[in-house]
Amino acid sequence: MAESEDDFVHAQPSVGDRLRAAREAKKLSLEDIAEQTRIPLRHLQNLEAGEWSALPAPTYTIGFAKSYASAVGLDRTEIGDDLRDEMGGVRYDAAKTEVFEPADPARAMPKWLVLSAIGAIILVVVVMTWLNNRALSPDQPAAPAPQETATAPARTEPAATTAPAPAQTAEGPVTLTAVEPAWIRVTDQGKTLFEGVLPAGQTYSVPQTASAPLLRAGAPEALRVNVGTAVAPPIGPAGKVASNVSLKPVDLMRGPAAAVTTVPAPSAPPAVQNTAG
């Protein structure tokens, strides 16, 4: 009777057989289990084959078996207890326990990814160094900048000299606009065309039929003279009466040189009073 009980005990399927049967029932491969549990494939193969001497220390082996059991739907506690009993008489070589791999190599970063990360770091360092050198290099030749500013006025002189040249060809009606109240007198060959005070903002247009119009202004700075759409230069210095200023477009665009005579201006009130008289 005892022999039959022993035979029955030995006839019980091993933990490895039970794990394999459960895996096959779920139509899973060992590779599927390795991917789910992160257990090296060779350890799973040794678990199913019952090759305990090829496995790490019992503590790790039982942990592997429990993870395997969870993946295939078996009771992990029961599998762990049965495996502990099943491995009770097995002796382990201490040297083999050092070969245990705590994680599947698939979990580690691939070499190409590590090399790519190192390359990216080196590239960033090189680029940052280049940018720093580029940012620092312009600071040294910054001294010549004053030379450029010193020569800048010289470049504007030809422009100021030649600016009136194209304006001499300006054509169109001559218009006098009072920036502020201004007394003016416009004559043509001794005939007075207009005499009086132009209120601020008021405009007087010189007749285009005038052959040699002349202007006398009590306050030249109070007038803006236009030839068509072009603005003519000031007709005389501020604070002086401008007399005999030619109102021909060509003469106006030449500037104050067109004025034949300038005399000191009386105070503004007398000019206005004379206008009123």
Computed from CA positions of residues 231, 235, 241, 244, in that sequence, does the dihedral angle turn out positive or negative?
Answer: negative
Q: What is the pLDDT of residue 42?
A: 94
Tokens of 225: 């003279």
Of 203, 272, 35, 51, the residue nearest 43 (C-alpha): 51
Per-residue pLDDT band for 34 (boundaries 50, 70, 90) equals very high
| Averaged confidence pLDDT in the chain | 76
Task: Indicate if the pLDDT at residue 153 is higher than 80.
Answer: no
* Predicted pLDDT at 108: 56
What is the percent of the chain with per-residue pLDDT over 90, rounded to a whole number? 27
Give the pLDDT of residue 200.
87
What are phi and psi for residue 71, nearest 5 degrees? Answer: -70, -30
What are the tens digits of pLDDT across the range 60-105? 999 999 999 999 999 999 999 999 988 875 545 444 444 444 444 4
Burial of 258 (0-12, 13-18, 19+ CB in 10 A): buried
Per-residue pLDDT at 101: 46
pLDDT score recorded for residue 219: 87
- pLDDT confidence tier of residue 244, bands split at 50, 70 and 90: confident
Residue 262: pLDDT over 80: no
Interatomic CA distance for residues 174 and 258, integer angstroms: 15
pLDDT in the model for residue 100: 44
Q: How far apart are CA 175 and CA 256, in angstroms?
A: 17
Asked if the model's pLDDT at residue 260 lies above 80, the reply is no
Query: Is the pLDDT at 161 greater than 60, yes or no?
Result: no
In which band, very low, low, confident or very high, does the pLDDT at 250 lie, cut at 50, 70 and 90? confident
Q: What is the structure's pLDDT at 257? A: 57
pLDDT band at 251 (very low <50, low <70, confident <90, very high): confident
Amino acid identity, residue 257? Answer: A
What was the pLDDT predicted at 165? 47
pLDDT for 6 beyond 50: no
Per-residue pLDDT, 162: 47
Mean predicted confidence (pLDDT) in 157-177? 62
What are the structure tokens assigned to 2, written together? Answer: 């005892």
Q: Which two tokens stand for residue 77?
A: 């506690």
Is the Cβ–Cβ distance between 193 and 213 less than 8 Å?
yes
- Predicted confidence at residue 198, as pLDDT, reads 87
